[in-house]
Structures are given as structure tokens and as C-alpha cells.
Amino acid sequence: VSSWLLDPARMRRERTDKVRTEMIRAGVDALVLTSSGNVQYATGVTCVSSDPSHAVAEPTMVIVTADEIRIFASYPEGIPEDVPADHVSGPLLVEFPEGARELVGQLGDLLGRGVVRVGFDDLSGASLAALSSELPSMALVDASLVLAPAKFVKSADEIECIREAQARNEIAMYEVLASLRPGVRQSELTGRFLRRVFELGGITNSVDPVWQVTPPSIKQGPPTLHGDVAFPIPSTDRVLRSDDLILVDTGIVFEGYCSDFGRTWYPSGAPPSPRQRDHFQRWCDVVHRVLEITRPGTSGVEINQAARKGEPDRKPWFEHYYLVHGLGTQGSEMPFIGTDLGEAFEADIILEPGVVMVLEPVIWEDGHGGYRAEEVVAVTDSGYEMLGSFPYSPFYDGPIQW
Amino acid sequence: MALDGAERADLARLRHERTNRVFEAMDRDEVDVLVLGREGNARYASGLQRLPVAVARPFIPSAVLVREARATHALSGWDFVTAPEISPEQQYPTHWDPAAVAKAIGRIDGVPGARRVALDSVSPQWRERLSSLCKAAGFVDAGPLMRAVRMVKTEDEVFCIRTAVAIAEAGLVAASAILGPGRRERELLGAFVERMSEFGLTVPASEAFALWRLNGSRIMACDVSRVIERCVRATWSPSMAGFCFRVTRAALVAQWDVVRSIGYLIKRSRP
């Protein structure tokens, strides 16, 4: 860890305490967690990073109660040093009935067979069957009841991790931007990005990098049920052309915390057209209007309205996505603003110091393309702090002074 | 490059054969509706490919198969490539509000009256939703069914795996070519993924650590995370056997990623 601001042991301790406080508030006796971001948040255990399709084969799982943490993992590497050795066991292979029975045995041992309430972030088919038959009086609830409120406000340590993740993500993107030209393949950009990310150390890739070639009108793109621009489409070995519009989206993980990088790029290298400048300027205006009111006490509804104020014809974000999402041990977490969850949901979101938001407005003029980028913002005591500083090529050579 | 040439997997046939196998297993086990949330299972049964991520997504039914109608329904969203044979009528939309997704699944013919529903995974909230959608149903574990179906590969699958192995080996060759005293393990990882990307592969999520473990006395990993330092100090006994194990495992992991990507890659004609 390079940062002098960061104390990982303190960060872990504070998070676990917060989780236990939220468990009491939600009336949850134990958590059973296997999603890497949740495991990391509640216990500080780092899971081996892998695609969900094989992550389930060798899961890292933790059980958290009011006074104990039990860890079940294939690898000792990710377990913090302060965890007593007798709290660590091999993995519970809960995809199989045998592993599910072991899980049931552990829970019965920890909690007894009476009426208890346990939060799960995932249940295998085998676990569900074993729990239903062996521990029928156990109430199963979503672990997010505990974790979503715990994660909402970040500590200074957590924000430092996100700052560091974002910085390293941006360092790698400088190299990718330098390689952007007509004739390069999407997969080559991916290779360059990941090589640089891995060389930077201590980090992993959290999402298959997106270099989406986006046609100027929706009907030219892949059909979708939502009717908006199809995004993000997984990358392939597609060759970029000079007149392409590329929507870029990448993310990495540092100390368990995610970054989020978004820009719109043009492989041609030509100066932007007046229309492209207009899209970009309107995108900046949306961000400005949101930042103007970004401070403690502002509600999700106010953020939503501020963004839409100057864009009466079309919501300035993708219909199926959001204007704002949070960022932490998951690449997308609370607060969500601009989703289909509605105004009542957004009215309950009140910004506090330590909330981290990714602003991702989109300006889209169908038939002529548009502009999308992302900015990561931390709410401070009196306003906000930008956590990234990557330039807006080809519009600006340096970062924007918001 | 390796993917050019006449010999190709027939991916439409591959998907067709896989889906048929799933329906045959549903007949055998008398499963009326199969609900799949595990990425690998949903991909196998419906051809659905979600944007690969390293952080697990919360549960959502990604594919719903109805035995009687021989119908495959798949989630349609923003980060998806839906197989061409899944018509818009067989897709249900993604919403942030899970109640809206559940409502759409409830409208699928055969779901409300199902007597036996198999699930490979679920969340507590979705268990409640599915119970109220399929009021008369008993729920069983879909794990044994899907494992049995996926165990034996079709010819096209073997072709994909063979290609994947070749690309993963190319990555390992590139990494071993720069192996030497003073190299950081992350440089090997960088060379490994960059070489694979030259074959048109994108890499969804890679192991950040535990990929290569080098002999502490001769080749020291000097710029690695706290996690690795701890491992080298405390738990790793440097040996060639261990090194080979890690490399082999890395290759296996890579192969599966490659299989997935190749599946998508081959069906596109190269420009």
C-alpha cells in the first residue's frame, strides 16, 4: 500500500463494527456472505478475483455474527493477519449437497436451531434445499438489508482507496488513449490496458473493458427491449474505424475498492465537429448543475431534477441505466439516482459527507450520436471533491476545473 | 491468426444441442420450469452472454426454461448479448425494481401453473417472489441436473476448448519468455494477458494475486500487494511443484474465460 493516508487495519475494523451495528438495527443474527465485495467489506478478506461463472466453483464464504467471524476459503492469501487461525477453514462447496450440509452444520453450531434471522447475499440451490429441511425455523433475508446502509457513507480510508483505484485506472488509460487510432482492435486496447494495470501492482480488473463502437442512431445498433442505446456491449476483436464513436468504460479494484472510468473517444484524431462540441458542452452543463447542489442535505430528487433542468426533451442519461450510482467494494452500489425505482426512493436518499457518487450523464441526439463520460465525486462536509482528473480529449488537454 | 481458416465451431448448432440436452434432462427429472441465475448455467442453456465482471452480481433469473413449450426465455438488459434464436417475445426486460422483473416472468406461459421448479441459485427476496409466482410448485435444486448435462461436451464445445487451450498456452509462452531473475510476477501477468488479447480475446477478470509464486530466495516478487508479501513470508514454501501448480491453474482459469470469449468471437466474421 503506497498511500500514507490509508490504514487498512483501521478501515477493516471500522467496517466490521458498522456491519454489526446495522445487524442489530435490522434484527439480523448472522450474515452469510460470498459475493467478493460483501466479503471484503464485512471482514477484509480478499477473494480471488474471477468471473462469476467460475467464482462459484471455489467460493470464499464468511459467516459474521455479533461476536465471531468464520472464514471458508481456498486461498490463505486474502485473509487479514489479525484473524485467528482457528477461524479459518477450507471452502464450503455449497453448489453440492455435501457442502450445503456443512454450511447448515456451521450455522446450527453458531446459532442453535431456534428462531433466528440470517442475511444471505446468495443461496445455491443446494443450500436452499438443505436450509429448508434442516433449519426450518431460520428466517432468510437479503444481506443487503444490513450492507446497503453500512456501505452508504465511506470513511476517509475508504475514500483514499477509491482515489488510489481511480488514479491507477487513469494512469493505464493514458497508455490506451495513446494507442487509439483507426485500425486498432478493441481487444488490443484491452490488452494494453490490462498489462499496464497489472504492472501498477496491487490491483485487479473488475469489468471486461468496454470500447463500444456506437452507431449515431439507435436503430442502427443492436435491438433492445428498452428502446434506448444498447450499452455496454462486451468487446470483441472488432477493428476501430476513423469515423467511429467509442464509448469507453473501465474499472479496476485497489484494496477491494472499485474505480470507474468513462469517456467518449474518437479514433480519427480530427478536431471535434461543432455538433460533437455541443454534445460535450451540454454534458458538462449537466455535471455542473449537479455539482452546484452536491453537498450534505441534498436529496436524490433534487439531483435528478437539477440534471434534467436544461435538457427538456430527453433525460440526460440512458433510460435503462441511471444518472448516479455509488462506488465502493462494488462497482455500482447505493446511492442510485435516475433509475426506474421512482421518486419516493430518491426522496429517501439524502447526501452526507463520505457518500461517493459516480455521475454518468449522457447526451444523445438520435441520428447524430452523443457524449457520455463519468466523474467520481465524494461528498465533503461543505461540498464535494472530484476523485479523478483525466483530461477530456479532444475537447480539453487537461482536467476540467469544475 | 489462429482463428482464421475454414475449421470453425458451429455456434448455432452448439447452442441448439446444449439447450436440447437441458430439455431432455428436464423431461427425465420431471422439472416443469428451470430458473437459472448462475452465469455459466444461464449461458449454457440460453446462449446469453453478460458483460463479464469480477464482482459477483446479485441474483436475478437470467434464463427461464419451460419444459412443456420447449421455450427458452432470457433476461434482456443493457450488458447482454442475447443469442439470435431467442426472439424478443422470449425475452423479459431488466428493471432496477425486481418486482417488475418478477411480473414479466409471471407472464411466461407455463410459469404460474408449474408443479416442479428447479433453481440453481436464488436470493432470499427472489425465493419469496418465485414462490408467489409459482404457487403450486415444489422447488428443487437444479445443480445435479445442470452438472449432469454439462459434464459431457459436444463436438463444438471440444473445438472451442481446444482453441481456448491454444490461446492460453500462447499467453503462457509469452509470460515464460520474459521469466527471469528480477521480474515481478505482475509483469508476467501483464505479458500473459496482452499476448492473449492479440488473438482477439478480451479478459473479463483475472486473478490479481496467487497467479505465479516465485522462489523467494532467487526471484523475489518485490512490488506486489500486502497480500502477496504475507503469503510469500508465511505460507508459501517455494518449490517447482508449487510453481507448476499455479501456472497450470492459471491456464485452466484462462481457458474457461477464453472458451466464453471465443464463443462470441468466432461467430463474428473478421473485418
- For B196-220, what is each residue's pLDDT tens digit? 888 877 655 555 333 433 322 222 2
B173-186 pLDDT, tens digit per residue, is 887 788 777 777 67
Pairwise CB contact (< 8 Å): B193 & A191? yes
Distance CA A20, CA A17 (A): 5
| Per-residue pLDDT, B194 | 86
Rounded distance between C-alpha atoms, residue B137 and residue B154, angstroms: 32
Distance from CA of A401 to the nearest CA of B (A): 32
**Cβ of A82 under 8 Å from any chain B Cβ?**
no
Q: CB distance from B270 to chain A under 8 Å?
A: yes
What are φ and ψ of residue A337, in 5° steps? -130, 130
Which amino acid is located at B87 in the chain? S
pLDDT for the residue A402: 86
Tell me, yes or no, if A320 comes closer than 8 A to chain B by beta carbon. yes
Give me the amino acid identity at B235: T
Q: Is the Cβ pair B54, A318 closer than 8 Å?
A: no
Q: Which of A58, A236, A255, A323 to mutate to test the interface with B (most CBs of B within 10 A)?
A: A236
> Global pTM?
0.89
Best CA proximity match to B268, nearest among B53, B56, B36, B49:
B49
User: How far is residue B262's CA from residue A237's CA, in Å, rounded to a whole number?
Assistant: 10
- For chain A, give the mean pLDDT: 93
Q: Do B225 and A331 touch (CB under 8 A)?
A: no
CA distance B81 to chain A (A): 7
Q: What is the pLDDT of residues A323-367, one digit of tens each?
A: 999 999 999 999 999 999 999 999 999 999 999 999 999 999 999
According to the model, what pLDDT value does residue B228 have? 29
Q: Do A233 and B55 touch (CB under 8 A)?
A: no
Which set of grid coordinates corresponds to residue A22? 446495522
Residue numbers of A between 219 and 238 with CB closer than 8 Å to B: 222-226, 230-238
In the block, cell 508479501 appears at B229
- Chain A residue nearest residue B171, CA to CA: A191
Q: Please give the C-alpha separations between residue B251 and each of A55, A196, B83, B135, B172, in angstroms, as whole numbers.
A: 15, 21, 28, 45, 7
Average confidence (pLDDT) over A264-288: 97
CB atoms within 10 A of CB A9: 12
Asked if B98 is an interface residue toward chain A (Cβ–Cβ < 8 A), one would say no
pLDDT-derived band at A2, boundaries 50, 70, 90: low
Q: Is the pLDDT of residue A176 over 90?
A: yes
B77-104 exposure pattern, b = at least 16 Cβ within 10 A, e = fewer: bbbbbbbeebeeebbbbbbbebeebbeb
Q: pLDDT tier at B69 (50, 70, 90 boundaries)?
A: very high
Number of cross-chain residue pairs from A and B with Cβ atoms under 8 Å apart: 269
Cross-strand pairs, A96: none
Give CA–CA dist A284/A263, Å, rounded.
Answer: 12
Q: Hey, is the C-beta of A216 within 8 angstroms of any chain B C-beta?
A: no
Q: Any residues with CB less than 8 A from the CB of A217 and at least 6 apart, and which?
A: A366, A367, A368
Geometric angle at alpha carbon B242, from B236 and B246, rounded to 5°: 105
Indicate the Cα dihedral angle A188, A192, A198, A204, nearest 10°.
-50
How far is the alpha carbon of B143 from chain A, nearest alpha carbon, in Å? Answer: 6
The three cell numbers of residue B157 are 464445445
Question: All 3 cell numbers of residue A370?
Answer: 452523443
What is the Cα–Cα distance from A355 to A272, expressed in whole angstroms? Answer: 35
**Cross-chain Cβ contact A48/B207 below 8 Å:** yes
pLDDT in tens, A43-59: 999 887 777 776 787 78
Nearest to A235 among B122, B186, B202 (CB): B202
Cross-chain residue pair B94–A320, CB shorter than 8 Å: yes
Best mutation target among B46, B128, B202, B222 (most A Cβ atoms within 10 Å) is B202
Whether residue A312 lies within 8 A of chain B, CB to CB, comes out as: no
Q: Where are the alpha helices (DSSP H) in chain B?
A: 11-29, 39-46, 98-106, 124-133, 143-151, 155-177, 185-197, 226-230, 240-266
User: How far is Cα A29 from Cα A40, in angstroms, rounded to an integer?
Assistant: 19
Q: Chain A contacts of B88, Cβ < 8 Å?
A: 223, 225
Nearest to A52 among B57, B95, B234 (CB): B57
* B223: contact with A, CB 8 A cutoff: yes
Whole-angstrom distance between the N-terminal and C-terminal Cα of chain A?
29
Q: Which residues in chain B are contacts of A43 at CB distance < 8 A?
A: none
Q: What are phi and psi of A362, to 5 degrees?
A: -135, 130
Pick from A110, A131, A114: nearest CA to A62? A110
Q: Which of A172-176, A223-227, B118-122 bottoms out in mean pLDDT, i.e. has the lowest?
A: A223-227
Cell of A348: 429517501
What is the C-alpha to C-alpha distance for residues A398 and B9, in angstroms, rounded to an integer?
Answer: 47
pLDDT band for B189, please (50, 70, 90 cuts): confident
SS3 B104: helix
What number is the ipTM of this complex?
0.94
Q: Which of residues 358-397 of A touch B (CB under 8 A)?
A: none
| Backbone φ, ψ for residue B35 (5° rounding) | -110, 120
Which residue in A1, A210, A231 is closest to B226 by CB distance? A1
Within 8 A by CB and 6+ apart from A362, the residues are A229, A283, A316, A317, A318, A321, A370, A371, A372
3-state SS, residue A264: strand
Report the alpha-carbon distance of residue A267 to residue A242 in Å, rounded.
5
Rounded to a whole number, what is the distance in Å from the CA of A139 to chain B's nearest CA?
Answer: 9
CA dist A206 and A331 (Å) reads: 8
Contact partners, residue A27, CB within 8 Å, separation at least 6: A117
Sign of CA dihedral B47, B168, A261, A376: positive
